[in-house]
Amino acid sequence: MRINLSLLRKEWDTEPLNKRMDRETLVSLDVSRRREEQQKLKQTQQKEMESRRVERDSRNFNQSVNATNDRYMVDALTQVRKSDITLPESLTRRNGTWMRNQSFK
């Protein structure tokens, strides 16, 4: 009769069980309720933040669409593009935008 060695218990077999059987501290009912309330509050805050983010994105998109349809803004931008008025070169050099604003004559 042969004995299957893998079926025999060894000392090291019980170590993982003992590690998992750590005692948990008992928590009072008030503490557990406070934790649940904190979790609920955190979840509601996350939902609010997500809804605000979605609303903000849609509001920004609607504002940009409205700006393109605004006749006053369209006319003002065409007048700005037509004008030859520029900023003084000394000012643009000081602010670091000289390379963008210099004229290539």
81 neighbors 73 (Cβ within 8 angstroms): no
**DSSP secondary structure string, 48-99?**
HHHHHHHHHHHHHHHHHHHHHH-HHHHHHHHHHHH------HHHHHHHT-HH
Domain boundaries, the chain: 28-82
**DSSP secondary structure string, 2-25?**
---GGGS--GGGSHHHHHHTPPPP
Residue 95 structure tokens? 């602010």
pTM, two decimals, is: 0.41
Q: What is the pLDDT of residues 48-71, one digit of tens each?
A: 999 999 999 999 999 888 888 888
30-47-39 Cα angle (round to 5): 15
Q: What is the pLDDT of residues 2-23, one digit of tens each?
A: 666 665 655 555 555 556 556 6
